Amino acid sequence: MRDFISPAHAGSLRSASLDSFDALWRLELDAVDVPNAVDGGWSSVYRLDIGGVGYYLKRQSNYMSRSWHHPFGEPTFAAEFRSIRRYQRKHIPTLEAAFFAQRRNRGEVNAVLLTRALDDWQDLSSLLSRWPDLEMASRQAVLTSCGRLARQLHGAGEVHGCFYPKHIFLREHPGAYEACLIDLEKTRLLLGRRDRIRDLEALARHAELWNEEELRCLLASYLDENADSRAIEPWLRRIKARHQYKAAQV
């Protein structure tokens, strides 16, 4: 895969002398969390500001994933970068990639992925932590935004695979919320209704505070129906059935 640099960020990266793989790979930063390690490889995330704009820099070495298209493996960030670009082409709200590159060096496969930080957004998990304190109108706006995001995602023929509150980011506007998705490493093409239910059930299961009325609000937005529509019932039943199935596996 060829090096990528976003035209919107190229000037800032160039001014900071951070417009190359080597510069970003050698940059000394403190990781924002404990690095992931598996099978002799590692992957880590860092925060930095460039020209007054926040970014997250991901670096990894021999941290691979395998697929039909890459049976011998490729950096997981390569798959994530392709997914970001695919989502953007399909107009699914997601991260903004600023730079991506990978290198092979002495038996190691290294990759860097730089994305714009979502500093004026908040993840759904944060909102759920104070859900009881939110006004009813705010709750409905959040549910409507999440349902609309799922409709955009599935309508574009994609399934997220980890459709959890921590991967849904929201930005508040007067009377409404705007939503986008992060963590696209497990995303893939949608195969059918079962995939839709998996995403929706995963969200409902991790948003434990949502009652049935709130799930109906979410599904009404997802289906573009009224909250009292009969079309919601079969979806609600399937989500509950999968929830019971997942609970029985624990």
In which band, very low, low, confident or very high, does the pLDDT at 107 lie, cut at 50, 70 and 90? confident
C-beta separation of 177 from 141 below 8 A: yes
10-24, 65-79, 167-181: the lowest-pLDDT one:
65-79
Pick the closest to residue 76 from 173, 170, 1, 176 (CA basis). Answer: 1
Q: Which of 10-19, 30-39, 170-179, 216-225 has the lowest mean pLDDT?
A: 30-39
Question: What domains sit in the chain, N to C, each tagged with a CATH number?
Answer: 4-116 (3.30.200), 122-249 (1.10.510.10)
Report d(CA 35, CA 51) in Å as an integer. Answer: 26
Q: Given this model, what pLDDT does residue 70 score?
A: 61
Name residues whose C-beta falls within 8 Å of residue 241's C-beta, 6 or more positions apart in sequence. none
Mean residue pLDDT of the chain comes to 94
pTM of the full predicted structure? Answer: 0.92
pLDDT score at 71: 53
Q: How far is 130 from 136, CA to CA, in rounded Å?
A: 13
Extract the tokens encoding 65: 């994933």
How far apart are alpha carbons 6 and 17 in whole angstroms?
Answer: 15
* Helices of type H across 113-231: 124-128, 136-155, 193-206, 212-223
Q: What is the pLDDT of residue 68?
A: 61
Identify the pLDDT of residue 250: 67
60, 44 Cβ separation under 8 angstroms: yes
pLDDT at 246 (0 to 100): 85
